[in-house]
A and B are shown apart, each in its own frame.
Chain A
């Protein structure tokens, strides 16, 4: 591994806005950090808080969840429901000690290729500064370690 820490970031995005925005960043040949892995869902309404837990279990150092701006949702109010779930789950994660700086939420429309590229770069740099999520990786190692006692 290169000496600089390469954060692993998993992003959950909705098809009609943020995924389309990501495609637009591609067609516009914008450049952004390669650390992110996108998972496409039909709508932010389909993004379940349990995805965040599984991403953490897969060793993600940062998680991004993004979808249509309120009012733009292709399914009318998927993002309104998502916003409430994120608000509650985010405060739960924070209370559990999973820092909310590692779990970021954003609205990116199909026209905001630039915003998508910038966001990915900023998130990658923020997480790189934060460093690996050692506390959670310790839990993961513990599940793979043989019994000691």
Chain B
């Protein structure tokens, strides 16, 4: 017997969570474009999509965020910090790949310096994941040793019922348990069968690819030039990626005061590695694409023993010239054998 949450009860849960102080967020579609957005009622959710166009990381690592305000007084400067918001958040309808993305970035933001902007939000959020019963050509969680129902990074896992009128609720963490306790009265015991998980074919063998990447001779291989000829060097793959975490610090202001901001940055921009002298260690687009793949599947696992990719497929889904990790790793796996 497991606890079941029926869809018709969802709205009561949302109001309950809201009165418990949570801002309830979930996938919302507007003009054929979807992202994780705060909602008023359960009806605002759009749970039918494979996954939202924008990734979950934005709620923890926004595209731009003020860090401090500085004002100039005579010959001195005084500053006043912005503390990250401490409101409690409950994110409903998260996809396993997005949730896994958060857990991949946790060790990085918690590395030698604890990024309080990231952790202030992480510690106040409950991730309620819904396992995937649908996938599209770009999903590749299985190729990254994840699955449509993997639990990494989630606080609660909901498995859709066969006749799609509710979910099996399974708590994974303390926060998950508390969140479920808060809506205890709307849960019922039952044994309705769950729907079959989405079928996500494995696109490539990850280990062979990582091995090829770790082999230093391949760093100068002609492969990188051929595979990235089409790349136009925009930042959309990195900005939509649930695990990309690079940022740039910028000061914006006038003569008297200004704001220091933390903004997303992308390794596919030339400016990312441009020296003031004008020299750029990564001057060609193929060097930059190589860096993206090497970082995700070689350097990052080297430090945190987990690949910096949760297989959501957004980079391939969104690329203006139809490139992406899938095609690259598929080609690498053929080179290796």
Is this pair of chains taken from one and the same complex? yes
CB neighbours of A148 from chain B (8 A): 85
Cβ-defined contact, A146 with B66, below 8 A: yes
- Known: A58-B254, A143-B259, A144-B259. Is A149-B69 also a contact (CB below 8 A)? no
Cβ-defined contact, A147 with B259, below 8 A: no
Report how far A148 CA is from B25 CA in the complex, Å: 13
Cβ-defined contact, A149 with B38, below 8 A: yes
- Known: A143-B259, A144-B259. Is A149-B85 also a contact (CB below 8 A)? yes
Partner among A58, A143, A146 whose Cβ is within 8 Å of the Cβ of B85: A146
Query: Which residues of chain B in 236-285 are interfacial with respect to chain A, using CB atoms and an 8 Å cutoff?
Result: 252, 254, 259
Report how far A146 CA is from B87 CA in the complex, Å: 13
Report how far A58 CA is from B59 CA in the complex, Å: 30
For the complex formed, measure the closest distance between the CB of A54 and the CB atoms of chain B, giving whole angstroms: 9
Closest residue of chain A to B66, judged by CB?
A146
Report if B82 contacts A (CB, 8 A). Answer: yes
Cβ-defined contact, A147 with B85, below 8 A: yes
Report if B83 contacts A (CB, 8 A). Answer: yes
Partner among A58, A147, A149 whose Cβ is within 8 Å of the Cβ of B66: A147
For the complex formed, measure the closest distance between the CB of B294 and the CB atoms of chain A, giving whole angstroms: 32
CB neighbours of B254 from chain A (8 A): 58
Cβ-defined contact, A147 with B23, below 8 A: no
What are 15 A-B interface contacts by the 8 Å CB criterion? Answer: A143-B252, A143-B259, A144-B66, A145-B66, A146-B66, A147-B65, A147-B66, A147-B84, A147-B85, A148-B85, A149-B25, A149-B62, A149-B85, A149-B87, A149-B89
Extra pairs beyond A143-B252, A149-B59, A149-B87 (9, CB < 8 Å): A143-B66, A144-B69, A145-B66, A146-B82, A146-B83, A147-B65, A147-B66, A149-B25, A149-B38
